[in-house]
Structure 1
Amino acid sequence: MMFRQYIAGIIFILLAVPSSSQQFTYVKDLTPQKIAAFVEQAESDLNPDTVAYKLIKQTPERLSNDQVLTLRRSGYHFFAFEWAIRLIDQGQHQQALLLLERHWYSAPRSSHIRLLELLRQQQQFYYMNRVLKRFGEIEPYSTLNAMDKSKSIDEIDIDSAGSLGFSIFGRNEQSIPCEHKVVLVAESLRSVKQLAFLKAKYMDSSFSTELPYCFSEPYYVGDLTQCRGKGTEFIRCDIHHLIEQPVTKQARHLVIMTDKPGLANVRHGVMALNSKSGFELFIHELMHFTYFEDEYPVSANRAKWLCATEGLKAPNLYVGENAPKGWYQSETCKFGKLPSYKPQRAVSKMEYHEIHLSNQYLGLWLKSLDKTLLAPSDYQNYLNALSANE
């Protein structure tokens, strides 16, 4: 008899208490009317142990702003934090920070993650930094914050970066299967994203089938390259800390992007770009890898040696009085000793990078690429010289 009563009691308990899967289904299927009823119940009775409160706490994102505000005013700390999330969604970041100061430690980690994820989606790294600095590190947002500030790669969590789809220089490099290898490196989160955009745009363009270049994924290098520049000066970067890695040794060209101001340029076969540089400028600079010259007036110092003797100086530049047939005077050597000529009358991409690349210049580019493959690139020569001096 006692045994049967014991079994009956166990069966009663099992039937009376819903399983976690049943409860999950119930929460998931809550109607707006049921949510409104539970909110009203929770508001009338400040008790975090009620079923009504526990259910609406599991799905805060389904509550309206008015409902969240009502529960916040009723004294629930959880919904005070939820209201901070709603303020961030409305762009009221400073006001949200005041709420976080009071309610951060009473909120669950899931709410912390929702708030930081919203800041990430908004690209509000200034406020993300303030939150993390005040309340402690949370991955992967700490890694995003460090990358946004161009922190050293030693301060980056490799696993977090990988989960976000980013590659860290010297940590997870891949081989590049072609002769015209171009390695992309970036000093900041913004630069990584812009290089990824430029690569994707290139791959979607006709250039990807017409030209032999293949690009690496963008590698985050942080402060390794120490780029510097001003608005009217060329960007300059240091590659000394890159030269021992296999990915830079296998490259034929190198592209560095920074958030620092300055003018894009190619020097020693290394392209330097600002994170505001667009696709058309990228193509213009890419042509410099195969020795195309600018067709606007170059500086007096450059013109002094570039325009001092006659001859074909670049695929698009002849210097001297006796230009080849079908060539037209250009502005390149405006400050030089001898005049300069270009192969087409119309303004080209080498004078204004926004201009569409003509078929004539594309043909010259392909011919120049064929020739340059026969010898080491300027970057490879520069890399060898640096390595020899190390």
Structure 2
Amino acid sequence: MTQVKRFKLVGVLLCCLLITGSSNHLGAIGFWHVLNAKANVLQSYWNSPVYFSAHLEQLPNTSLAVLARNQISSAQYMYSLRLIKKDQSDTAKQFWLSGINELTISERKILAAKLFEQSRWSDLKLLASKNKLPAGDVLNHLKLQLKAPQSKISTAFIHDLGFSSLKNISKPNTQCMFNVLAMSDHRSGLYKLTEFINAYNKQPEPRENIFCFSKPVYVAGTLECKSNVNQVAKCDWQSSKLNDQLPEGFDFIVMMPKQGTANVTKGTMLINSKANYSVFLHELMHFNGFEDEYALPKTKQAWLCAQSGFVAPNLFVSHGESPPAGWYRAKSCQLGGIAYKPSEKWSIMQYQQLGLSVQYRKLWLKHLDMTNGNPYRHPSALIFANKATLN
């Protein structure tokens, strides 16, 4: 390269630097006027779009909103994040959705994380449907929420959340009288089961080492559960793909669908993910033979109330026989015999919200000590008997 060409190249570079510096200087001046002199933000933006785009975070909401409403994608993104932070996610949606095609992968990840923090599942589903939800934890959480088959979700991700996959269920605890396999087909169910198990472990009932629970197992795609809010929760165990995948050594199952009223069928509890802990404890007592002290379903009364004597640890049915001393009439049987219960007041078996009383804890322990749980223990986890009755 000749000396003359070198000088020309240096000259061009210097000019470029001067122009760039001048542009930044003009942009800074325009930006200052917007912040301090109420200059027209839209006009100032178009005078120096690069500078403004790099400094959007410094703009007040009013100025940022003007740019967003004028379809400037970077401003739409920034303004939507601010609205989401202020719990105005519905308003934010119109801005990020309008500019979604202009967002980088990094920006879409940030947006998705903010929407996830607000539990905006419908918005995340919309992003996914447009193929704009990047791969990662948020997408996996959405898959859990939408009950994607367990084969479609990373096993490592499920384990990192503290749950189990069907391929890696923890072994039963030999120190416990009963081992319970906990499972659900949706995200909130897994977290609710964890909440229940943690609450139980803080205060085991009726004492320690009676019930031990597995980590919640994600089973979507292997079991179909269909129930309405006010109907008894039901799952189609007979056609279940679970039958050949469940491990041996568990005495009971807790399955948590999204909807349906709680019930126990033999050794299988169904309880929805909106239930509270007292309902869970009530159902847990059904595992050991306790009966409801409110009016039982007529189909159950037809055979249970036809019996005599102790039909449950907390229920005595009389057909003229004298009830145990200190027992009181229950509402369980409206047909057949007369039912009696050990407490004059309402108990957890009549109204779950009352919690477990000292009297019923002692009754529970006495029953377990007498039977060692044998009438209710099942030989394996495959406890989906058709002839079982609902409690």
Provide TM-score, normalisation by structure 2: 0.77
Q: Note the 1:178-327 alignment, pairs <5 A.
A: 178-179=175-176, 180-205=178-203, 207=205, 210=208, 212-239=210-237, 240-246=240-246, 248-260=247-259, 262-320=260-318, 321-327=321-327
* Residue 170 of structure 1: how far off its partner (Å): 1.0
Rounded Cα–Cα distance in structure 2 between residues aligned with 1:39 and 1:111 = 26
* Residue 226 of structure 1: how far off its partner (Å): 1.3
Q: Is the 8 A contact 2:80 2:96 kept in 1?
A: yes
* Residue 64 of structure 1: how far off its partner (Å): 4.8
- 1:47-67 superposed Cα distances (whole Å, 9 cap, x missing partner): 5655x864x47xx4x765346
Q: Is the 8 A contact 2:330 2:339 kept in 1?
A: yes
Q: Is the 8 A contact 1:39 1:53 kept in 2?
A: no
Rounded Cα–Cα distance in structure 1 between residues aligned with 2:341 and 2:375 = 26
2:169 matches 1:151: no
Rounded Cα–Cα distance in structure 2 between residues aligned with 1:105 and 1:319 = 70
* Residue 131 of structure 1: how far off its partner (Å): 1.5
Counterpart secondary structure, 2:92: helix
Rounded Cα–Cα distance in structure 1 between residues aligned with 2:310 and 2:362 = 17
Rounded Cα–Cα distance in structure 1 between residues aligned with 2:298 and 2:351 = 20
Gaps of 5+ in 1: 1-35
* Residue 74 of structure 1: how far off its partner (Å): 8.6
Identity %: 27
Structure number with higher relative contact order (C-alpha < 8 Å, ≥ 6 residues apart): 2
Q: Is the 8 A contact 1:185 1:257 kept in 2?
A: yes
1:125 alignment partner in structure 2: 121
Rounded Cα–Cα distance in structure 2 between residues aligned with 1:205 and 1:232 = 30
Q: Is the 8 A contact 2:194 2:216 kept in 1?
A: yes
Q: Is the 8 A contact 2:289 2:376 kept in 1?
A: no
- 1:86-119 superposed Cα distances (whole Å, 9 cap, x missing partner): 2333444454333334422332323212211111
- 1:7-37 superposed Cα distances (whole Å, 9 cap, x missing partner): xxxxxxxxxxxxxxxxxxxxxxxxxxxxx86
Paired residue type of 1:365 = W
Paired residue type of 1:344 = S
Counterpart secondary structure, 1:354: helix
Rounded Cα–Cα distance in structure 1 between residues aligned with 2:203 and 2:185 = 26
1:85 alignment partner in structure 2: 81
Rounded Cα–Cα distance in structure 2 between residues aligned with 1:199 and 1:366 = 20
Rounded Cα–Cα distance in structure 1 between residues aligned with 2:368 and 2:59 = 61
- 1:315-341 superposed Cα distances (whole Å, 9 cap, x missing partner): 111112221222222111122x11111
Counterpart secondary structure, 1:308: coil
Give the CA RMSD over aligned residues. Answer: 3.2
* Residue 368 of structure 1: how far off its partner (Å): 2.7
Paired residue type of 1:109 = I
Paired residue type of 1:309 = Q
Gaps of 5+ in 2: 1-30, 386-391
* Residue 205 of structure 1: how far off its partner (Å): 3.2
2:365 alignment partner in structure 1: 366
* Residue 185 of structure 1: how far off its partner (Å): 0.8
2:139 alignment partner in structure 1: 142
1:339 alignment partner in structure 2: 338
Rounded Cα–Cα distance in structure 1 between residues aligned with 2:375 and 2:243 = 16
Go from structure 1 to structure 2 and tell me whether the alpha carbon gap of 1:63 and 1:286 turns closer, same or farther (over 3 Å shift).
farther
Go from structure 1 to structure 2 and tell me whether the alpha carbon gap of 1:101 and 1:308 turns closer, same or farther (over 3 Å shift).
closer
Go from structure 1 to structure 2 and tell me whether the alpha carbon gap of 1:155 and 1:339 turns closer, same or farther (over 3 Å shift).
same
Paired residue type of 2:325 = K
Paired residue type of 1:271 = M
Paired residue type of 1:129 = K
Match of 1:167 among 163, 169, 173: 163
* Residue 287 of structure 1: how far off its partner (Å): 0.4
Counterpart secondary structure, 1:254: strand
- 1:102-153 superposed Cα distances (whole Å, 9 cap, x missing partner): 4223323232122111111111101111112113342222222221122221
- 1:205-243 superposed Cα distances (whole Å, 9 cap, x missing partner): 363855621222222212422122234432112344323
Paired residue type of 1:254 = I
Counterpart secondary structure, 2:253: strand
* Residue 71 of structure 1: how far off its partner (Å): 6.0
Paired residue type of 1:334 = Q
Paired residue type of 1:189 = R
Rounded Cα–Cα distance in structure 2 between residues aligned with 1:142 and 1:151 = 11
Go from structure 1 to structure 2 and tell me whether the alpha carbon gap of 1:64 and 1:218 turns closer, same or farther (over 3 Å shift).
farther
Match of 1:110 among 106, 110, 116: 106
Provide TM-score, normalisation by structure 1: 0.77
| Count of equivalent residues | 344
Rounded Cα–Cα distance in structure 2 between residues aligned with 1:259 and 1:187 = 8
